[in-house]
Structure formats: C-alpha cells, structure tokens
Amino acid sequence: MNKWFYLNLALLITAIWQLVKRSYFHSISLFLWLGFIGLLLFLFNWTRHAVFSTIRNAPRRKTKIKFANISKKALPYHKWSGTAALLLILCHAIWIMNKYGILLDYPKMFIGILAGLTLIIQVSTGWLRQYWPSGLKRKVHLYGGMLLFFLIFVHIIL
C-alpha cells in the first residue's frame, strides 16, 4: 500500500471525528454535510493518485494489473465526481460566507478560500487536460492535488 492511502484514511478519519465532535453539542448543519460530501468526492478522486503511485512502486506485476483494472473502472467518473465536489464545496463556501461574512483574518476561512481556489484550478486543469493535454497541465493537476489535499487537511483541523 502506498503512503497516500494512509494519508487519505487519516484525512477521512479526521473529518469524521470533527463532524462527530460537532454533533455532540448540536445537530450537524447542512453546510457541513455539503462540505463533507464534497470531501468524500475529492477523496474518491485523490485515491486515484494513490492507486497510480502503488502501480509505479509495486514490485509484482500481478499487483500492478489489479490496481490498473481498479483505476480503469473509476476513470469514467473521475471528471464528473471532481466537478460535483467543486459544486458542493462552492455551495458550502457560499453558505458559510453568507452566514458569517468573509473573514480573511480567521484562519479556517482563509485556508478554506485558498482550498476553494485551488479546487477551481484543479477541476479546470482536469477538464482542459482532456481536450488539450500537455505536460504542464498534468503537473499543475498533480501538484495542485497535493496542495489541495494539505489545504483541506489544515482547514478541517482548524
């Protein structure tokens, strides 16, 4: 297993923990559910990176074939689940900004806005890669995904 599987699991457990911790004191708001479902869709897509890393690093051919077949089944949903994640996260962000205003000096909101902008770039480069592929778009998409992962992690922890 690749380290990204473990990091994805850690992010998921952290998000669930924050959601459960919040639900002890009051009910979970719809905007939190929108963010959580958007996170699940992001993790579905980001797990493809873990699969590709495992394929690259696996010593056994049988393991590589198994993970390649799994990735091939998820490929038709990749762009659409990323777009759905973007739409849900945008709804989450708009709801939060309408409720609390734009507070850039509040770290959670600042990191959330950075993550949202990174997600817009991520989804845009993903769609552009389908029609006009290039090495630059591939690298921006890959490193943007890594940056987005860590921004989301910090956003959830705060």
CA neighbours closer than 13 Å in the CB half-sphere of residue 152: 28
Task: Report d(CA 136, CA 134) in Å as an integer.
Answer: 5
pLDDT single digits (tens) 38-47? 999 999 988 8
The closest of 48, 47, 26, 44 to 36, measured between CA atoms, is: 44
Residue 1: per-residue pLDDT: 65
The verdict on pTM exceeding 0.85 is yes
Mean pLDDT of 2-15: 90
The tokens of 154 are what? 């910090």
Indicate the burial class of 21 (C-beta count within 10 angstroms; 0-12, 13-18, 19 or more). Answer: exposed
Residue 25: per-residue pLDDT: 62
What DSSP character marks residue 26? S
Percent share of the chain, pLDDT over 70: 97
How would residue 29 be classed by pLDDT, with cut points 50, 70 and 90?
confident
Write out the residue range of the structural domain in which residue 111 sits.
3-157
pLDDT single digits (tens) 84-119? 999 999 999 999 999 999 999 999 999 999 999 999
Domain count, the chain: 1
Tokens 């860590």 identify what position? 150
